[in-house]
Amino acid sequence: MKFTKLHGAGNDYVYVDCFQESLPDDIAELARRVSDRHFGIGSDGLILICPSKQADARMRMFNADGSESEMCGNGVRCVAKYVYDHGIATKPELTIETGRGVLTLQVFPENGKVQQVRVNMGAPILEAAKIPTTLPGDPPLKTPLEVGGKTLEVTCVSMGNPHCVTFVDEVNDDWVHRIGPMVETHPAFPRRVNAEFIQIVSRSEMIMRVWERGSGETLACGTGACASAVAAVLNDLTDRKVLCHLPGGDLTLEWAESGEVYMTGPATEVFTGEWPA
């Protein structure tokens, strides 16, 4: 099975071109094996680039623990890069089918290779039952959440997958590595949740680290950055356009007045290889 390793701001996945390759029956086990950073290729998960009846391609995304997720913002940018660079569809505007629906992406190539991608991530989901969470409010806004001996004030948003955003004075390992896993598995989130910890720098700038559902800390999370930008606006902490600094790089986010969230960031191909059958 041929594969390609790509990353978006350090959020790295193993990509398989299902236009060309066949897969084993147990995709969850394949995701766990290829993601292992000691005995596999090493990644935050596995993404399949598949044919679609309604878009240029379809993305299926599996976390490092083998669970399938609805959406990955950094991943979908890399799918667009692969689709363009490898000749599946060489257009300035691409459509990718995801668990969130069909997304529209603008690609910005240099010397025939895509470097940056702008994604219309759609409107955020703010109804608690659809996020989903049992916390009160549509959305839960500055809602108390008891975790690890702390009372967090959380704001919950879905970008097709669930996010729990906490604004802190300083993002550190204790927040991410100790509190993050407990937030992910808290009973208030029936499908688990991605936990974002945000430090506000200014009305136009923030710092983010994330504990991702099914993968642990990653260097970036596109949907998490979008959800955090929405949460920051809802809490009147930033303007509607913000630069988000993540350990793996920067993303530019805008919650447009029309309701859609736009994300712009890099997409990078690292190497190709062949995984033994």
Q: Which residues are designated catalytic?
A: 72, 221
The 3-state DSSP class for residue 224 equals helix
Q: What residue spans of 27-72 are helical by DSSP H?
A: 27-35
| Residue whose token pair is 């004075």 | 169
Beta bridge partners of 144: 153
240-250 per-residue burial string, b: 16 or more CB within 10 A, e: under 16: bebbbbbbbbe
Residue 72, burial from CB neighbour count under 10 angstroms (0-12, 13-18, 19+): buried
Contacts of residue 129, defined as CB under 8 A and 6 or more positions apart, other chains included, come to none
- Which amino acid is it at 223? T
